[in-house]
Amino acid sequence: MTTILAAEPQLFVSDLPRACRFYVDTLGFEIAFSHGEPPSYAQVVRGGARLNLRHVDGPVFDEAFRERETDALAATLTLDDAGPLFREFQDADAPFHQMLRTEPWGARTFIVRDPDGNLILFAGKAG
């Protein structure tokens, strides 16, 4: 039986250089690689998380979709403890869609919104 080792979500972005700057400068990721001239695809990495950024022309989300699905997530990243990372992102002025909270099932979560409207959930153990 094959074992799945990891997941690497693909996020659509309208401006790849801007997206890379956001993930590196605001969220502390590193660029693993970029592809194309000019680049149209890149991967950012932090710890065990890898996010693939793919350039698309035009807006990433239709306004009507975001109005209907205000909490539609693009990716979930699991953490050992959400508190310290939340405070790090606060200090970096990250745009939060949801502040740090404890969910009814015990996880501590927060959501960051990237410049294209991708919502990234960060979830850790209850603390």
| Residue 81 maps to a domain | yes
| Residues 74-97 pLDDT 10s | 999 999 999 999 999 999 999 999
Distances (CA, A) of 50 to 54, 90, 101, 104, 125: 13, 21, 24, 28, 20
Domains in the chain, number: 1
* Greatest C-alpha distance within the chain: 47
pTM: 0.93
Domain with residue 25: its CATH number is: 3.10.180.10
| Residue 37 maps to a domain | yes
Distances (CA, A) of 66 to 38, 48, 112, 122: 29, 29, 15, 20
| Residue 64 maps to a domain | no
| Residue 100 maps to a domain | yes
Range(s) of the domain holding residue 30: 10-57+72-124
**Would you call 88 helix, strand, or coil by DSSP?**
helix
Q: Write out the DSSP string of 44-69.
A: EEETTEEEEEEE-SS-SS-HHHHHH-
- 38 neighbors 62 (Cβ within 8 angstroms): no
| Residue 63 maps to a domain | no
| Residues 26-53 pLDDT 10s | 999 999 999 999 999 999 999 999 999 9
Which H or E run includes 16?
helix 16-21
| Residue 20 maps to a domain | yes
